[in-house]
């Protein structure tokens, strides 16, 4: 169902892992250039590919998707089963990294847009303390279930949230709602806004590098 993830590692013996999820309609190759720009020699980057799904919001067109999308506004119906299926897959990738000798507290989950939603969903519920989570141009899915499902082990996980002020796919207002939910649940968030659309820009990449260096020091 899932293709083999891309792996990038400069070191023959990495001491940390970042599992990085692409956005809707893309694949694991999407963030290969960004990973190379980060130039973090001791980190193994895992870039998985979502399975192909018919996406309702795109007229049922089949594309790589972590879950179905019914709409892009805060009140849109959510594909809970799809979100949880992807969460289970990312959990399996975490387990694989642990089996390869990387402890959970040296693993970061990262994701852009839909991938960022799955990264947040998974990290905040994971039963072992993770190193951090990068949530880029995204939102928090299944908000109403977080309070009862969140893991105490990741209550203090470092969260890097970034969004573009000109994002016309997931609005800044939508992102702020997620930010406020996370704050209400007492998470500590590094918040970043950039003058960009639904994308990633150089100043953001530099901030991501600093976050990863600090988190995985």
Active site residues: 113, 167, 198
- Closest Cα to residue 201, out of 162, 168, 173? 162
- CA 205 from centroid of its chain's CA atoms: 15
| Residue 44 phi, psi dihedral angles, 5° rounding | -95, 125
Rounded Cα–Cα distance for residues 10 and 2 (Å):
25
| Residue 150 phi, psi dihedral angles, 5° rounding | -65, 150
CB atoms within 10 A of CB 192: 16
């Amino acid at each position: 169902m899932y293709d083999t993830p891309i792996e990038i590692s400069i070191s023959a013996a990495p001491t940390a892992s970042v599992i990085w999820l692409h956005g809707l309609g893309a694949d694991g190759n999407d963030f290969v250039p960004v990973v190379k720009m980060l130039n973090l020699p001791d980190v193994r980057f895992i870039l998985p590919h979502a399975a192909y799904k018919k996406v309702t919001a795109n007229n049922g067109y089949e594309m790589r998707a972590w879950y179905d999308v019914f709409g892009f506004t805060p009140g849109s119906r959510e594909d809970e089963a799809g979100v949880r299926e992807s969460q289970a897959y990312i959990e399996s990738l975490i387990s694989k990294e642990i089996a390869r000798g990387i402890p959970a507290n040296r693993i970061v989950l990262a994701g852009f847009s839909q991938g960022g939603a799955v990264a947040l969903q998974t990290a905040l519920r994971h039963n072992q303390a993770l190193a951090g989570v990068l949530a880029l141009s995204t939102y928090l899915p299944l908000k109403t279930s977080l309070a009862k499902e969140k893991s105490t082990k990741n209550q203090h996980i470092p969260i890097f949230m970034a969004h573009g002020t000109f994002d016309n796919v997931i609005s800044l207002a939508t992102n702020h709602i997620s930010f406020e939910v996370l704050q209400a649940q007492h998470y500590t968030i590094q918040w970043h806004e950039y003058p960009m659309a639904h994308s990633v820009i150089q100043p953001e990449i530099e901030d991501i590098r600093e976050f990863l260096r600090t988190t995985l020091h």
